[in-house]
Structure 1
Amino acid sequence: MNSSTSVSMWQHTMHHFSSTTLSALVLAYFMLLNCSSLILACTDTTLATILPNNGYYNTGTPDHILQGHEITSLTTRNILQCAGKCTGDELCVSFNYSPDSKVCDLNSETHTTQPASLVPQIGVEYYYYDWSKFTGCNFISPNANCVQFLHPRLPHGTTRIEFSVKTISDAFVVLSPENRVVDPDPMYVIDIGGNGGADIFVRQCKGCSNAFNQAVPNLELSDQHYRRFWITWDSGLIRVGKNQDTESLVEWQDPNPLPVDVHYIGFASWYTHIGDWQLHSFCDPPWEWQTQ
């Protein structure tokens, strides 16, 4: 069944469901659409792409609207199409939908980041992206010319990412204020396994020279087995660790911290290698994760 056929089926049955039931169907529908391969291509101009928005839109308080953070307002056929518009917009993290007028407002913020902006409005339903139900936990990075960013923006206050990766060397993690790569825009680019798998580098833009370089003897990157790492950042302090270790493998304090906030995280591999990633942040209950 293709996407257009499934949309027609949903439209045919929509009249038989309450608003609450329809909200649940929105979640299931977009889970099905996002169960596809995550090998994506970048253009030569952007050097970046957006991973599919894999997760749930959870309904907030009925008869409320998030006000003052509108990206765009449009009329859609139904709530499914409204959710699809938000899914396809790299800045959208929530939306307001009116079942009567079919007006769909895409928002760049949520009630968690802007609680005062959630105000009563009769007849409007407010939905937000729930990172706790994120399902885009496995993806492939083709090469270093293509940085793949998580979508949507990270939850407010995020300063840590945990992941496992299968690659022989050079697992790149990008901490960026935007979901794009345009040199020399400031961002932290962390290369785990540079120099043939032996070092960890940190750069302050994608094309910059290394601001930090340290040999790490026990990285043990492999293209056959996942290796688990964590990265934290805070006011220019970058720490990279492994497994459940509380001590970091490397730690670097940027003497001139970049004047940017980290809103997006991107992933890439070396030019001749493919990276196989498992994201643990937003995906694993703490009792389930393990190192392979």
Structure 2
Amino acid sequence: MKSMVILFMVVKTASCVRFSEYICDEICFPDSAALTSSQSSLQCARQCLGNDNCRQFLYHNHQESCLINGELCCTGWKLYYTGSQVPEFNKSSVLSIATPANYLHPYYSLTSYGITGSDRTFLIVDVKGCGDAHIGLSKIEMDSSNPIASYEIVIGGSNNTWTYVRKNGDHEAGGHDAIDCENYVTFWVTWDNDVIRIGRGSELRSNEILSWSDPDSALDVKYIGLGTYALDIEWRIYL
């Protein structure tokens, strides 16, 4: 995305500092532990200038969040930097997986790729297929001895017209949405604070399709898997 120059009148040793703005477009999620609250990009700029090691900062207007010297330039964020060149950022890795139709026996576990529910509470995926793409969340590993996930997010179910959550095979909540046979469609899934949410796009908690809480127990997600029913599905997972 092309950057545009803006001017912040921020006093530091009686001088003005000019920042350039860059609109981020990488599909990723920044480290939440490093975020600070900030009501405006100007406040975030002041935080940066008060830090001798600050090279640039990122600001999210909707979340009112500031990130000093962030390593990822993620969609929904704006980068502010000094100098004439946009800083180079780490690119999020993308894992491509094709899951042939197998009627969910078993789910394809992501543990071997280093993706588990023990160290994350979200997943961002591109999905391509004609329907019935399944994301499994489970407290025990999904393999031949335990083929079904504790919780299932079904994207493009019911002849590619419906997206819903299942618990132990029973429908719990749903909303209208579908996938595409020819093109990738991006979805996000989160399961923090004992709530499963799913939405369209790469920005978490935007364009939400549905949310659901288990009335019987707290969520205990340790493993993540991908599943297909009668149709082949192609996935791109953002690590």
TM range (shorter): 0.5 to 0.7
Give the Cα–Cα distance (whole angstroms) in 2 for the partners of residues 155 and 186 of structure 1. Answer: 13
The 5 Å alignment of 1:119-268 reads 137-143=95-101, 144-150=104-110, 151=112, 152=114, 154=116, 156-181=118-143, 182=145, 187-205=150-168, 208-212=169-173, 214-216=174-176, 219-244=177-202, 246-258=206-218, 260=220, 262-268=221-227
How much has 1:136 moved relative to structure 2? 6.9
Runs of 4+ in 1 over 6 A off after TM superposition: 132-136
Q: Which letter maps to 2:229?
A: W
Residue 233 of structure 2 is aligned to residue 275 of structure 1: yes
Give the Cα–Cα distance (whole angstroms) in 2 for the partners of residues 155 and 175 of structure 1. Answer: 8
Does the 8 A contact of 1:147 with 1:267 survive in 2?
Answer: yes
Does the 8 A contact of 2:142 with 2:223 survive in 1?
Answer: no
Does the 8 A contact of 2:151 with 2:167 survive in 1?
Answer: yes
Q: CA RMSD in A?
A: 2.7
Higher helix share: 1
Equivalent position SS for 2:137: strand
**Alpha-carbon displacement from aligned partner over 1:183-225 (angstroms, at most 9, x marks no partner):** 69761111011111111221223xx22122x231xx3411110
Give the Cα–Cα distance (whole angstroms) in 1 for the partners of residues 93 and 223 of structure 2. Answer: 17
Q: Which letter maps to 1:211?
A: E
Q: Which letter maps to 1:194?
A: G
Give the Cα–Cα distance (whole angstroms) in 2 for the partners of residues 249 and 146 of structure 1. Answer: 26
Higher strand share: 2
Give the Cα–Cα distance (whole angstroms) in 2 for the partners of residues 201 and 157 of structure 1. Answer: 24
Structure 1 residues 169 and 185: alpha-carbon distance in aligned structure 2, compared to 1, 3 A threshold: closer
User: Which blocks of at least 5 consecutive residues in structure 2 are unaligned?
Assistant: 1-89
What TM-score, normalized by structure 1, do the two folds share?
0.44
The 5 Å alignment of 1:80-91 reads none
How much has 1:240 moved relative to structure 2? 0.4
Equivalent position SS for 1:195: helix
Q: Which letter maps to 2:194?
A: G
Identity over aligned pairs, percent: 24
What TM-score, normalized by structure 2, do the two folds share?
0.53
Give the Cα–Cα distance (whole angstroms) in 1 for the partners of residues 202 and 219 of structure 2. Answer: 30
Equivalent position SS for 1:154: coil
> What's the counterpart of residue 45 of structure 1?
none
Structure 1 residues 133 and 175: alpha-carbon distance in aligned structure 2, compared to 1, 3 A threshold: farther
Give the Cα–Cα distance (whole angstroms) in 2 for the partners of residues 187 and 220 of structure 1. Answer: 23
Q: Which letter maps to 2:158?
A: N
Of residues 250-259 and 180-189 in structure 1, the stretch that sits farther from structure 2 once superposed is: 180-189
Q: Which letter maps to 1:142?
A: P
User: Which blocks of at least 5 consecutive residues in structure 1 are unaligned?
Assistant: 1-131, 283-292
